[in-house]
Amino acid sequence: SEMCIRDRYKLDLIDGLEDGNISVYDQGDFTDLCRGPHVDNTKLCKNFKLIKYSGVYWKGDANNHVMQRIYGVCFPTAEELEEHLKLLEEAKDRDHRKIGKEMHLFMSDDLVGRGLPMFLPKGYTVWQELENYIKAKERKLGYLHVMTPCVGTVNLYKTSGHWDHYKDNMYTTVIDDEDYAIKPMNCPGGILVYKTKMHSYKDLPLRMGELGLVHRHELSGALHGLMRVRCFTQDDAHIFMTREQIKDEIKGVVQLIDSVYSTFGFEYHIELSTQPEDSMGAKEDWDIATEALRNAITELGYDY
Spell out the SS3 assignment of 228-275.
ECCEEEEEEEEEECCHHHHHHHHHHHHHHHHHHHHHHCCCCCCCCCCC
% of residues, the chain, pLDDT over 70 = 97
pLDDT for res 213: 96
Whether pLDDT at 3 is above 70? no
Residue 50 phi/psi, 5-degree rounding, is: -80, 125
Mean of the per-residue pLDDT values for the chain?
Answer: 90
pLDDT for res 82: 94
Using a CB cutoff of 8 Å and minimum separation of 24, what contacts does 6-10 make? 9/58
pTM for this structure? 0.75
Residue 73 and residue 84: Cα distance in Å, rounded? 9
- Per-residue model confidence as pLDDT tens digits over 164-187: 889 999 999 999 999 999 999 999
Whether pLDDT at 157 is above 70? yes
Whether pLDDT at 1 is above 70? no
Using the CB atoms, write b or e for 39-49: b if 16+ within 10 Å: eeeeeeeebee
For 294, counting Cβ atoms within 10 Å of its Cβ (0-12 exposed, 13-18 middle, 19+ buried), the class is: middle
**Through-space distance between the first and last CA atoms of the chain, rounded to whole angstroms:** 50
Residue 113 and residue 136: Cα distance in Å, rounded? 33
How far is C-alpha 248 from the chain's CA centre?
26
pLDDT for res 52: 87
